[in-house]
Amino acid sequence: MWDNVSAVQVRRYIWPTMNDVTTFARKNERRLLNELRAFLTIPSISTTPAHDRDCRRAAEWLAEHLRHLGCPTVELLSSDTHPVVWAKGPRVPGRPNVLVYGHYDVQPPDPLDEWESPPFQPTIRGNNIYARGATDDKGQVFSIVKAFEAVANGGRPPINVAFLIEGQEESGSGVLFDLLAKRRDLVDVDAVLVADMPYYAPGWPAIEVGLRGLCYAEITVRTLKSDLHSGLYGGVAPNAHEALVHTLANLKAPSGRIKIPGLYEAVARPSTKERDAWAKLPFSEHKFRTGEVGSKALTGLQRYSPLERIWGLPTLDIHGIMGGFTGEGAKTVIPAAATAKVSLRLVPNQKAKTVLRQLAKAAKAAAPPFADVKVEFIHGADPVVLDVTAPPFALIAQAFREVEGREPVPIRSGGSIPVVPALGAGGAPVVMAGIGLPDDRLHAPNEKIGVDQYLKGVRVFGRFFQLMGDLK
Ligand code: BES
Ligand code: MN
Ligand code: MN
């Protein structure tokens, strides 16, 4: 279906309709903002069981909205608590099929006292809407929903659109993985559109050609049958926290090199061409360190550039250490067990399953001989690299050029979206291009989305739909 597409052929269709989506976004600005705010009010935190009902509510809200926009098929699939919202727009014979992926679940909002306005009371300050999920991913995916509304043409959109919006992205996508394993037909489309990642910089849209994968696990070390008095047994009883700290410290060298045997074997370094392109991107290490990271130094393997360290190399991070006594005051105890939550970000061609085995083996080898080590897998994702030469990539580039005045730059991202490989499993090009900004603070306090970015999203994705529809 993508043969013989030339820029000239595409261009002929652009200009007459360009203004439609722009006018739509301008005329409906207030309503578009109010609807997004309603969506953001629902605390659909998928990582916290206490919010299961809120996840369900967010799914129902979205389903109702898609019905209201004229989708003849809208279903909640595969789970009572975290259903996948599946919707199909009106059938338009002979036009391409575009599948929109996104997620309605969000990360926990803590630490709460760092929010300037409550995370689930979306608040506009300056040119931004502040709320948990504003950019990740409710705001971004909802801009696509509104783009669909913009081009829906009273029931005859320019293309066949389907939505697959899940409620477990932040907790590993289990439900959607199961669904896609059974329903391969869902990804049998001409293009998949994912808006769950930011621009490279303000004014610089991006097409994501790579995502890192993830291997998230808990390492538990046990040294005693039970906790002991540190006065009566201190000096002879092995301390689980001490054993855990040694174990963790043994897994990474001060240089930043991860000491897990075999870990780097599968790593494919980005091509010289790709690295040269990265080197041409505007990037100030100083600004990045002081403005975004907020640290005295950037860590990691210093012989690689910061961008390569984030986009092209694996990591090992400790997220939290549990066990022992952490309450107020003092308790003289020798802890019997201690657990660390850790994760590795993975790059092509690493596999989450293989890395889990390597981590488990390395953790056991790194622990003192008297410690029992258990490594429990929590969730994971394989890394992604995409070929971005199929026509839909040229069309999203064109849409950005028209709306933003600049073509998207091809970049990778350090983040992970577990189902992306499964979305492309049917051979469809997966177009990953979001409209957030790098300082949107996803997963952090005061998450936001720019009002103008959100409205630009409606226009860019609306244009993309129109341009896709004009493909013969
Ligand atoms: N949208 C993010 C991933 C992302 C962020 C990709 C920025 C590209 C650029 C997504 O919601 C996310 O946070 N994913 C998790 C993975 C999951 C298994 C918890 C992540 O990357 O930590
Ligand atoms: Mn996301
Ligand atoms: Mn996220």
Chain CA centroid to CA 202, Å: 19
| Average pLDDT over every residue of 142-148 | 98
Q: What is the largest CA-CA distance in the chain?
A: 85
Q: How far is the CA of 415 from the centre of ligand 1 (A)?
A: 5
**pTM surpassing 0.75?**
yes
Using CA atoms, how far apart are residues 27 and 147, in angstroms rounded to an integer? 13
DSSP conformational letter for 50: G
**Do 256 and 121 share a structural domain?**
no
CA distance 176 to 183: 10
Are both 193 and 54 inside the same structural domain? yes
Look at residue 306 and tell me whether its pLDDT is greater than 70: yes
**Mean pLDDT of the 123-137 span:** 98
User: What pLDDT band is residue 153 in, cutting at 50, 70 and 90?
Assistant: confident
Q: Where residue 97 sits, what CATH number does that domain have? A: 3.40.630.10
Q: How confident is the model at residue 472 (pLDDT cuts 50, 70, 90)?
A: confident
pLDDT band at 16 (very low <50, low <70, confident <90, very high): very low
Both tokens of 395, joined, read: 């069309």
- Tokens representing 120 are 């689930």
Q: Are 412 and 362 in a shared domain?
A: no
Same domain, 419 and 332: no
Residues 6+ apart with CB under 8 A from 45: 51, 54, 55, 105, 106, 107, 108, 109, 132, 170
> In testing the pocket of ligand 1, which one of 417, 419, 423, 449 has its CB within 8 Å of the most ligand atoms?
417
> Is pLDDT above 80 for 12?
no
Q: Please give the residue that has the higher pLDDT: either 4 or 185.
A: 185
Residue 17 is predicted with a pLDDT of 57
Domain boundary among 345, 361, 381: 381
Same domain, 147 and 237: no
**In terms of domains, do 377 and 410 share one?**
no
Domain that holds residue 20: 7-211+383-469
Does any domain span residue 289?
no
Domain assignment present for 2:
no
463/389 same-domain check: yes
The predicted structure's pLDDT at residue 184: 96
Quick check: is 82 in a domain? yes
pLDDT at 276 over 80: yes
Whether residue 379 has its Cβ less than 6 Å from ligand 1: yes
**In a shared domain, residues 345 and 377:** yes
71-82: b (≥16 Cβ within 10 Å) or e: beebebbbbebb
Contacts 24+ apart (CB under 8 A), 179-186: 179/77, 179/78, 179/84, 180/419, 180/422, 180/423, 180/425, 184/425, 184/426, 186/86, 186/99, 186/162
Residue 1 has pLDDT above 80, yes or no: no
Residue 4 has pLDDT above 80, yes or no: no
pLDDT above 70 for 289:
yes
Would the CB of 418 count as within 6 Å of ligand 1?
yes
Task: Say whether both 371 and 422 belong to one domain.
Answer: no
Position 14 pLDDT exceeds 90: no
61, pLDDT greater than 60 = yes
Final residue belonging to a domain, choices 381, 410, 436:
381
pLDDT band at 8 (very low <50, low <70, confident <90, very high): very low
* Residue 108 domain flag: yes
Establish whether residue 382 lines the binding site of ligand 1, counting it when its CB lies within 6 angstroms of any ligand atom.
no
In this structure, of 5-9, 96-100, 276-280, the range with the lowest mean pLDDT score is 5-9
How large is the average pLDDT for residues 317-332?
Answer: 97
Q: Supply the DSSP symbol for 436.
A: B
**Residue after which a domain boundary falls, among 381, 396, 429:** 381
Q: Are the C-beta atoms of residues 172 and 418 closer than 8 Å to each other?
A: yes
258 and 396 assigned to the same domain: no
Give me ligand 1 centre to Cα 436, in Å.
13
Quick check: is 80 in a domain?
A: yes
Report which residue type is found at 271. S
Coil, strand, or helix at residue 296? coil
Q: Which ligand has its closest atom nearest to the C-alpha of 438?
A: 1
Q: What percentage of the chain reaches a pLDDT higher than 90?
A: 94
Asked whether residue 69 carries a pLDDT value surpassing 60, the answer given is yes
* Complete edge-to-edge strand list for the sheet that includes strand 191-194: 73-77, 84-88, 160-166, 97-103, 191-194, 430-432
**Does residue 334 carry a pLDDT above 70?**
yes
For the segment 119-128, the average pLDDT, to the nearest whole number, is: 98
CA-based nearest residue to 314, from 374, 365, 354, 273? 354
Q: Does position 267 have pLDDT exceeding 90, yes or no?
A: yes
Instruction: Give the count of domains, the chain.
Output: 2
Mark whether 189 and 219 lie in a shared domain: no
CA separation for the pair 189, 182 (Å, rounded)? 16
Q: Give the mean pLDDT of the chain.
A: 95
CB atoms within 10 A of CB 439: 14
Residue type, 469: G
H or E element at residue 445? none
Q: Is residue 299 included in any domain, yes or no?
A: no
Question: Has residue 132 got a pLDDT over 90?
Answer: yes
309 inside domain: no
Q: Average pLDDT, stretch 260-279?
A: 97
pLDDT at 19: 73
| Whether residues 372 and 451 fall in one domain | no
- Establish if 321 belongs to a structural domain: yes
pLDDT, position 119: 98
Q: Ligand 1 centre and the CA of 170: distance in Å?
A: 7
pLDDT in tens, 227-259: 999 999 999 999 999 999 999 999 999 999 999
4: tokens are 């013989």
With residue 71 as reference, give the H or E element that holds it.
none
* pLDDT, tens digit, 9 for 90 and up, residues 383-410: 999 999 999 999 999 999 999 999 999 9
| Domain CATH for 335 | 3.30.70.360
> Which residues are designated catalytic?
105, 169
For residue 18, the model assigns a pLDDT of 57
Helix (H) or strand (E) holding 431: strand 430-432
Residue 10 has pLDDT above 90, yes or no: no
